[in-house]
Structure 1
Amino acid sequence: MAQSAAIAMLSTMPLMGAAGEAAAAGGTGDSYKVMTYNIQGLPFLAMNQGDAYGMVEEDRAHKISEKVLNDNYDIITFNEAFDETMRDALVDDLSGTYPYKISFIDSDYGDPGDEDSGLMLFSKFPIEGLPKEGLGEDYYKDECIGEIGNDCQAYFHQFPFTEGDDGMSDKGVAYVKIQNPVTGRPIDLYFSHTQAYNTAKAIEARQKQIAEIYRFTARTSDPQNRDSIIMGDLNVSADLAVGYDDPSPEYVHMSSWFATAGGYTDTRDYTSHDDRQYSFSDSNTQNAGGDAQDGADDERLDYIWFRQAEDAQDAPSCVQHSWLQKQMYFRGTVDDEYVATDLSDHYGLAAVIGRDGQLCAPYRAKVNPANGDHNGTIAHGGSYQWYRFEPGAYRFRTLAEHNDPMRLSAFYADDLATKLTPWEGTESLPSNDYSVTFAPNKPFYIRVSALDDPWWTGDYRLTVEKLEGRTKSDAIPIDPYQKIHANQMSGGTTNPMSKVWYTYKQHALHSGAKQNLSFQTTEQSAGLKLNIQALDSTGAPFNPNKQSVGTTGTNRLDLTKADSPISGAEQKLYFTVNRESSTLGTFNIERTTDYRWAQFGSFFNSDQQDPVIDDGDDEPWMRTWVDGSASGITDSFGDVDERQRKDAPAWMANGFGFADHVTINMWEADEEDANEDMGTVTLKAPAAGTETRSHLSFIIPDDAEWYYYYLVKGNIDD
């Protein structure tokens, strides 16, 4: 019998007693949060990833730890944690918060020269011991990993089927039984990383491994009394090109084992079916160019499968939110070099599992609630309530028991990972006196929760107001370059409107100068005569004689700097589209502006020839002219030695608006000799809708090189 295949680092802390202690540690009330994450910590001989990430593996692991700690998970599993420096860094960083862990699994049944499994687990909840009796005495050869008293800390089952390079590591599935003070029921938790690649032999091996995972769960779990989770990078590409309702044959095979035979549910089934959850994606900086294993740009390879205990019917569970963790990203300085990268070639996959209840998950959301009040109940601490809306502009309020504070978070239906920025207000609503406005151009969800107290329960009322543009207070928000389809003047509506109100925020240029604005209708219905008129913050016309009237397919109103009073501070402004014909119809509306936005990050001394003792020879100064302003702004970086980096001046670091160009002159001050000019560089405004991250170079020949890093955007959402 293999009683200890590997020495897993095990906390000696006593088990938690009261349920509330651990739940409070998780900070999520009657729910708990889990994540699986393939960290691409490949063995050094297989791939030295330092160049790809701009940092050594140990530093990358520290940055992964920072993200994990910030997001307050209760249980995390890692795949591909082969690199010892990464593994050690994760243990060092996470052990204080996650005292229960499996840091290393190496099978006794693998070849001596093989890599370990690459699997790790960190938990805030205690791990229960598993009996040693009977292990390794039959075909299955299940192994004991670590010890808790006289019991095993975990079981590990190495797959007997592998293909190619994957056979050089201890591929298998690990099992731990975790106390769950949130539900009072233990969790049978299985985590694995199955066969990669999509050759015929690799698929055959992976399908056998999936079957092995099911058989392992069948002989070790307790479906009657314990919840169960299977999680990890299972390398099964879920969808064909058509999408959610057209699963791949291999996904169907996996589902036949886990769902049909095992009773598990893919946590994506609880969520928005518009969200494809591509955990291996071309949008990841490490995969730019489409490196998915089957040649496609995007694949869903990572999974969390959940099964509720049969005796839990009196307190059933609900996967309240399942999403890709796309915030495992770093932007900053590493060894005096600027780095911007995702921290792995996979996104993490996370889920919040809480108590069942009304509207508890996106797939059970209330769809397209009408204007007015909608009553809801948060019956369990930490629970969510979900509502789904079609594109448009909506204003929301909440009234909770005792007027308690609530939180309204918005997500696109096809991306439940990223919160939408409110057009007006914030997602935190301290009382019914506050409102928040969202104006998405795609279907979206509103998630209702308590603001600060994870244990809050009670009734609430959600007030929905879809903005239709009938009055100034009902004006429809519109971002720059956003095209909105308008049907308020069509015969298909109950009361066709003769005027539609729109509102927008005009951000101020740093120079305070006036700006050019343009409003345009396109694809007007034949015979529909429209008048566009620009209005100030009170709703009065800028210039009553400045308007545009047209019955063609395109109608445009341009306000030049001479026509427009817009200058100085940011303003909330309005414009209307007025029908001047009896003909009804539809149109599209958009607005443009010459506003651009720039943000400067850091100033880096790449090469400096002056002697270190000559403090007067390495003090760079800068003068900046925004949009050709008559007097520039002068800033000093102080003493900057070779390979040293200084932050940008606050006004540039916070970002500023410009219309045409930014000109920067830099020179190096010298107390003994003449100042040395580094040159002048002009940064031109980018095209509308584009974004550029780069740097400006300043060079003194044979003496010094300096780099100034920046971000510019062709527009900024309101």
Structure 2
Amino acid sequence: MTFNVQMLPLVATAIEGQNDRAKAIANDVANALLGLPADERPDVIALNEVFNEEGRSQLMSRLSGTWPNVIDKIFDGLFEDDSGLMLFSRLPLLPLPTGGIHFEHIYEAHNGADSLASKAVGIVQVGTPVDRTTIAFTHLQASYQTEDEFASIRAKQLDAIFHAVDKVLEQQPGRRGKVIIMGDLNIRGDSGAASSEWGSIFEGGGSLLFGPYQDGWKAYMHPPGTDGLDEGVTNIAFKTGVRQRLDYICFAKPGQADILLVAQHMRVRLKNSSDHFALEAVVHQISDHNRPADAKDGLSIMPSAGGTPGQPTTVRRIDVQFEHDGSYQWIFVKTPGTYTFHKTDGFRIEVYFASNLSHSVKRLDTLDFRLLPSALQGAFDRHEIDPRGDTFLSREPFFILVKSTPGYTGGATVWMTEHMGESDTTAIALRLFDRVNSSFPAGQRLGDDDLCWFRADMARTLQSVPRPETFQVHNPSGGSITVDLRNAAHQRVAPPESGNGGSLTTSTSVTGGERIFLTIRRQALSLTGFTVEWRSPVTYLDLDEPITFFINDESGVDYGGADEPELQVNIDTGPPLFLGSWDDADSGERWPGLGEAIVAKLATLMPGERRVGFVEGIWLGYVEPDISAQGWQTVSINPLTQGEEDRGERTATLHVPDEIKDGLYTFSCTLTRFP
């Protein structure tokens, strides 16, 4: 993991008129790291911007028990601050050919405020995943006015990393393929970049380093043969909301050595502790299909059952091979839909949208294959496996990640059932705000009853506000059809709708947690081509994204700790989700621990949910209790409307009326249409 924790030196906060919060930041960072599941914590963590000594001591106190091997500081010069680099490892740090357990090089090239610190690269070696792995961790020159400002300085610093790694490996030339380079490179690598610096550095020969090495995210975190849908952004500007990819974990290119390390999985999970997000990579030596870019094509495998016009649901047997202990296997499925996965014992399956490799998809349901139509059950004969499989709904191309148990190498099997709606068991899950195709064959019955089955699972909202859910069936055939809505017990929840017009609309009222089946019956076997669209008034607060309260400009007279805002957050009509105060707010700061507090509260109210639904809105009440300020103010964050994007950051502007000088705060979160 590489993580810029924004722990600035005391003098820098004083210049900005801010109080020293390094200890609180260190606690936030430690809580985030220790809050990761024990088996998903990084082995090696490289931190950037640990400039504050009290914060450094707090990190040592909180983290060294779990990550006992520490490089606490890299420093050079009497009049400069240290590099801000710090490394924690639960793997032993091996002696280097250059002596000691770490090598450091202080950059000669630097400019602007960065000249006040000993910007550097540190190098260590660990014994995992194979032989000696070399890790170079760094933080490059920042830009201040434009995103490519000081690009030439960064290029020189990257050249210095190349020479430093070569110096360490002079007596270990066979280990050049087992090098990882990571840190905040301050090079914008997302599609919003205005400059061409990324292309010049990584692909255009602008640095010696990226002759033999490459950007791990760009190389591995995308579907086979296509560009990535997930850009892997790692930074947010609190004042503007702009997101950027600035942090990198880089690997050797093929052909550098007999053993090549790759990123089996990269992800960005910790997003509330800093203006940067923590970037992680699960690293192993290369093998077939152990990274998304080399995923096996799941739909290229011929079905072993189903796939006929009257029984269109298919079962595909997908065999995978774990070449090394701890290696992954990736399968790519390019067609959205409803899928159930059964597997051999001793393995774990996770599903990821191609647009979000950081957070796995929540399971929709389980399915016992013994309940499938008899024509499909034969695909599972003679296999001693758990009959219960996990069902997922995907609204876009997706990956299946297969993880083996520790110590295992060899083969495993995944059975992929694609639901096509010929029965209630194989019902097609509807995708919100998307037209989903029916599967009626022309001139032949579908299943036993010539009904096409769809399902819609109603997400729970925080306050269980009653709401209408609407379904529109589009009928291009010109023939007559009948549409029914039924509950899980197959009882009608709305009168049936019949007709031969271009569309039929039906709806029902829910509070959340219900399963609704929609069926289409056609008048004649010649009628085909129906689609179903589900519309819902629910919007979801995404808890995997940052929730921030930022002081753009404090009210009244500016001085350290001048504002003391109080905040109340409500979702729909109900008790407060958050009610608290911040006793020393300054311009340019964000409310420490607010996002974590809101997520923790929601975890107690809706355990396991990462999207929290609401119907009416999110209400923010706030006050700055200075004698010269006015009283409580209220603003709302409204649900997404029909014309808006399906996902996006919402920022509420909070004006603070004050007789001396008005203040301005902003509250930001991410909303989505999808649970």
Does TM-score exceed 0.5, indicating one fold?
yes
Q: 1:91 aligns with which of 49, 60, 67?
A: 60
The DSSP-based 3-state class of the residue aligned with 1:161 is: coil
- Aligned pairs for 1:101-112 (under 5 A) are 101-108=70-77, 112=78
CA distance in 2, matches of 1:264, 1:353: 14
Partner amino acid, structure 2, of 1:503: R
Contact 1:39–1:81 (CA<8 Å) still a contact in 2? yes
5+ long unaligned stretches in structure 1 = 1-34, 133-150, 292-296, 330-341, 600-623, 628-632, 664-680, 695-710
* C-alpha spacing 1:507/1:279, structure 2 compared with 1 (3 Å): closer
1:74 corresponds to 2:74: no
Shift of 1:598: 11
* Corresponding residue number in structure 2 for 1:360: 290
Q: 2:504 aligns with which of 555, 567, 570?
A: 555
Shift of 1:531: 3.4
CA distance in 1, matches of 2:15, 2:674: 35
CA distance in 1, matches of 2:533, 2:439: 16
* Corresponding residue number in structure 1 for 2:280: 350
Contact 1:505–1:572 (CA<8 Å) still a contact in 2? yes
Q: How many pairs are equivalent?
A: 553
Contact 1:238–1:250 (CA<8 Å) still a contact in 2? no
1:518 corresponds to 2:470: yes
- Aligned pairs for 1:630-641 (under 5 A) are none
Contact 2:45–2:89 (CA<8 Å) still a contact in 1? yes
* Corresponding residue number in structure 1 for 2:484: 533
* Corresponding residue number in structure 2 for 1:211: 159
Contact 1:594–1:659 (CA<8 Å) still a contact in 2? yes
CA distance in 1, matches of 2:291, 2:541: 39
1:437 corresponds to 2:403: no
- Aligned pairs for 1:214-253 (under 5 A) are 214-221=162-169, 222-225=172-175, 227-240=178-191, 248-253=199-204
Higher Cα Rg, which structure: 1
Q: Deviations over 1:163-222 (max 9, x none)?
A: 21111211122222x231542x11222111111114766011111111121122222223
* Corresponding residue number in structure 1 for 2:363: 422
* C-alpha spacing 1:484/1:424, structure 2 compared with 1 (3 Å): farther
The DSSP-based 3-state class of the residue aligned with 2:359 is: strand
Q: Deviations over 1:124-143 (max 9, x none)?
A: 222233466xxxxxxxxxxx
Shift of 1:651: 9.5
Shift of 1:298: 2.8
Shift of 1:548: 4.1
Q: 2:111 aligns with which of 147, 163, 174?
A: 163
- Aligned pairs for 1:274-293 (under 5 A) are 274-281=228-235, 284=236, 287=238, 289-291=240-242
Shift of 1:420: 0.9
The DSSP-based 3-state class of the residue aligned with 1:45 is: helix
CA distance in 2, matches of 1:436, 1:49: 55
Q: Deviations over 1:26-56 (max 9, x none)?
A: xxxxxxxxx111111122222369999x993
Higher strand share: 1
The DSSP-based 3-state class of the residue aligned with 2:351 is: strand
The DSSP-based 3-state class of the residue aligned with 1:425 is: strand
The DSSP-based 3-state class of the residue aligned with 2:156 is: helix
Partner amino acid, structure 1, of 2:298: N
* C-alpha spacing 1:234/1:465, structure 2 compared with 1 (3 Å): same
Partner amino acid, structure 1, of 2:504: N
Q: What's the TM-score, normalizing by structure 2?
A: 0.68
Shift of 1:466: 0.9
1:303 corresponds to 2:224: no
5+ long unaligned stretches in structure 2 = 302-314, 368-383, 543-569, 584-596, 620-633, 653-668
Contact 1:518–1:558 (CA<8 Å) still a contact in 2? yes
Shift of 1:253: 4.1
CA distance in 2, matches of 1:186, 1:199: 36
The DSSP-based 3-state class of the residue aligned with 1:189 is: strand
Shift of 1:97: 1.8
Partner amino acid, structure 2, of 1:94: L
Q: 1:505 aligns with which of 457, 481, 485?
A: 457
Shift of 1:264: 5.3
Q: 2:122 aligns with which of 166, 169, 174?
A: 174
1:113 corresponds to 2:79: yes
Shift of 1:105: 0.9
Q: Deviations over 1:559-603 (max 9, x none)?
A: 4x6xxxx78x9443311234446776645423345779999xxxx
The DSSP-based 3-state class of the residue aligned with 2:425 is: helix
The DSSP-based 3-state class of the residue aligned with 1:386 is: strand
Contact 1:597–1:657 (CA<8 Å) still a contact in 2? yes
1:377 corresponds to 2:351: no
* C-alpha spacing 1:587/1:235, structure 2 compared with 1 (3 Å): farther
Partner amino acid, structure 1, of 2:219: D
Contact 1:50–1:56 (CA<8 Å) still a contact in 2? no
* C-alpha spacing 1:396/1:357, structure 2 compared with 1 (3 Å): farther
Pairwise CA RMSD: 5.0
CA distance in 1, matches of 2:413, 2:86: 43
Contact 2:107–2:120 (CA<8 Å) still a contact in 1? yes
* Corresponding residue number in structure 2 for 1:446: 400
* C-alpha spacing 1:490/1:390, structure 2 compared with 1 (3 Å): farther
Partner amino acid, structure 1, of 2:501: T
CA distance in 1, matches of 2:184, 2:390: 38
Partner amino acid, structure 2, of 1:186: R
1:57 corresponds to 2:19: no
- Aligned pairs for 1:131-170 (under 5 A) are 151-170=99-118
The DSSP-based 3-state class of the residue aligned with 1:91 is: helix
Contact 1:190–1:230 (CA<8 Å) still a contact in 2? yes
CA distance in 2, matches of 1:422, 1:86: 40
- Aligned pairs for 1:591-602 (under 5 A) are 591-592=534-535
Shift of 1:693: 11
CA distance in 2, matches of 1:242, 1:712: 21
CA distance in 2, matches of 1:320, 1:650: 30
Q: What's the TM-score, normalizing by structure 1?
A: 0.65
Partner amino acid, structure 1, of 2:91: F
Contact 1:266–1:303 (CA<8 Å) still a contact in 2? yes
Shift of 1:379: 3.5
Q: 2:138 aligns with which of 192, 195, 204?
A: 192
Partner amino acid, structure 2, of 1:119: L
Shift of 1:225: 3.7
Partner amino acid, structure 2, of 1:251: F
CA distance in 2, matches of 1:546, 1:218: 74
CA distance in 2, matches of 1:279, 1:658: 27
1:474 corresponds to 2:426: yes
Q: Deviations over 1:607-660 (max 9, x none)?
A: xxxxxxxxxxxxxxxxx9x99xxxxx9x9xxxx9xx9x9999999677999988
Contact 2:477–2:529 (CA<8 Å) still a contact in 1? no
* Corresponding residue number in structure 1 for 2:517: 574
